[in-house]
Structure 1
């Protein structure tokens, strides 16, 4: 019985091998006849039998599959599948015997150059139109280049960013996550030299090519420039994808991971602050802005935003101090002048409440009103400065009209009202 089983097993292997070779011959004939549908059908039948094939047959299968998908370079070819098939053969022959690698390598390089050129052209168009559909065309092609050449990770980086511009945040975040999983940094060395003929800089693919041009006397001033790591921005952009998709907890998780790697990242800190703002957590928003000030003490916007948070929390004097600092750093900061005026007027609220309780006590009422108007007088110069910087801000103009009317500043009221009427007219 055992002997019979062995004979059956041997017979099965013979039938399998015969089936493989028969389907491969069918596929090969179909490819030569440009009948890629028939070739694919035959290869699909052979694929289930390939696990037990020898090296020669397996390589032949991968080769024919790549050719069938490539379709002689037809525009109907699925670039992603072509790239996967080509690279699968090349990787397989690295471990065995190389027979088809050179042919596929040449086709692959041609395909990479063609698709990369189209990707750059589509991106140039998208940069002009700003249309999401145009960005998507470019993103897909950059993604295709990466699929054709997985070693060129920068194309995956480009695709992730351009998918974001195209508003495909789901694909963008998947690609950014893949970049992090691959430990991609984007650190590269750029080789440059100056063309002796026209004095313009030339960028070379490698040092050998640059040195050759210098040696031939065609270029001078050879130099190497290192591109900074992209990893910090990958964390940032991935968090932005999650934020746009309103997955704020995941955005904060990504930022926290990024800040562990880049603890002094001002950019990630600001993004974290913005996520807390979107969540309505003003306390943490303010905390992150105050932390950001320690990293970048010359950014007036930070002081302004912390001032706004202090105003919201009723800390008027603290708010004014932050607005003052913003103006010190940016003397034409109209919003900061406006908010100092607004913060001062906030101080009037308890006085007005007391006035409403003292309607029958005329002396007390008049004294309180005098305090009210004194605060208004202090606020006027700040609103006037805001108006001087931006004479089209209706809100500032309306506030000045109210202040001038309360303070009986008739001439100024008449002039600002004319401006208001003209803007509204």
Structure 2
């Protein structure tokens, strides 16, 4: 009797095994004919037999499930996510290799769709496809970065934050070696892949070949994480993100500037100024940094420091329009302070003498303001209308009618005589 039970059990297991194989064969046949709806129906029947499947059969089931759900790239967003989840369950065996090979097919599909969406300025769709490309090929972290960046373009900040945090946790920097050469015909330096660059150099169309590392994207990633936290009202996390990055790279000027900008958004101008000054010690020839110190100093009424900063800017970059305008305006503000003093004087002889002295001081300050602008125009003959308008106003204040008319004529010429 016992023998009969064993034989019956053996037949039962054999029958289950046959049924499993039959259902999965049906799935394979449907996939081969691209009838993915039928494949998914057959998978439901196979799922009922999961309890009796061995590990290899389960791996095959999960593999086929992923393929059916992907449906040659026609699966819904939810189905694609389910396909990835199903593939993740295939851990060992021959079907692990099948999954890896199929993910390459998925990767190419996602990449094609992502690029098409990006070129069509559909950044939301591009972001989703770039993220999927990364999920299909986790070694290609560049597309996780693209997914985050394009999510920012469409203001999907919470999703972008999640992706940027993932990049940060991965230690992604985006640093890569790039190859370049100078096009002999145009004289322009172009970046190419190594094989093409070498081919062009050998052919003689390009010269001065070289290679270099691209800049790290980590400062940008940390900055965007911080800015999203700020927009969400989470300033502590924003500053923590910057400080973590600075701990790893304390001399990175971009990170110092990013931290400074966060404090500026938080209306902490003192901290902003101190950080910008720290950045200047590491990049003393950066005109923008000196300009920012000038602006903050001027806002706080420290006109002497502002003057030093703006003068430094113009020594580094004589074409820095806003620095010239602000420096000129600084002298006008000083002159206006003198005018206020003049208005407080009485009618005595002593006050009259003091009045004339203050008037001379005021005029000298206004002339300094005009001098900043005329020097700027000498260095930049194509100076914009803002420079000329401010100079005209100063001449009017000084009673220099003829000079004011000359500037007006230049402004009329710039506007076409309208």
Bin for the TM-score computed over the shorter chain: 0.7 to 0.9
Match of 1:75 in 2: 74
SS in 2 for 1:332: coil
TM-score, length basis structure 2: 0.75
Q: Are the aligned partners of 2:226 and 2:241 in contact in 1 as well (CA < 8 Å)?
A: yes
Alpha-carbon deviation of 1:418?
A: 3.0
Match of 1:383 in 2: 373
Q: Are 1:63 and 2:63 counterparts?
A: yes
Alpha-carbon deviation of 1:359?
A: 4.3
Aligned residues: 378
Separation of aligned partners in 2, 1:419 and 1:188: 50
Q: Are the aligned partners of 1:28 and 1:39 in contact in 2 as well (CA < 8 Å)?
A: yes
Q: Superposed, which structure 2 residues align to 1:403-418 within 5 Å?
A: 403-418=394-409
Q: Are the aligned partners of 1:304 and 1:336 in contact in 2 as well (CA < 8 Å)?
A: yes
Match of 2:259 in 1: 272
Q: Superposed, which structure 2 residues align to 1:17-28 within 5 Å?
A: 21=20
Q: Are the aligned partners of 2:73 and 2:106 in contact in 1 as well (CA < 8 Å)?
A: no
Cα distance 1:201–1:27, how it changes in 2: closer, same or farther (>3 A)?
Answer: closer
Match of 1:92 in 2: 91
Separation of aligned partners in 2, 1:323 and 1:69: 63
Deviations, residues 154-211 of structure 1 (Å, cap 9, x unaligned): 321222223233443322221111122233344567899xxxxxxx97547xxxxx9x
Q: Superposed, which structure 2 residues align to 1:31-42 within 5 Å?
A: 31=31, 35-37=35-37, 39-40=39-40
Q: 1:112 aligns with which of 107, 110, 129?
A: 107
Alpha-carbon deviation of 1:110?
A: 2.7
Q: Are the aligned partners of 1:169 and 1:245 in contact in 2 as well (CA < 8 Å)?
A: no
Structure 2 residue ranges without an equivalent (≥5):
1-8, 181-190, 199-209
Q: Superposed, which structure 2 residues align to 1:329-408 within 5 Å?
A: 329-361=316-348, 363=352, 364-388=354-378, 389=380, 393-408=384-399
Match of 2:149 in 1: 161
Alpha-carbon deviation of 1:226?
A: 6.3
Q: Are 1:179 and 2:167 counterparts?
A: yes
SS in 2 for 1:348: helix
Q: 2:284 aligns with which of 278, 281, 297?
A: 297
Alpha-carbon deviation of 1:343?
A: 1.5
Q: Are the aligned partners of 1:65 and 1:85 in contact in 2 as well (CA < 8 Å)?
A: no
Match of 2:311 in 1: 324
Match of 2:5 in 1: none
Alpha-carbon deviation of 1:69?
A: 0.8
Separation of aligned partners in 2, 1:406 and 1:227: 52
Question: Please, what is the CA RMSD of the aligned residues?
Answer: 3.9
Cα distance 1:272–1:399, how it changes in 2: closer, same or farther (>3 A)?
Answer: same
TM-score, length basis structure 1: 0.74
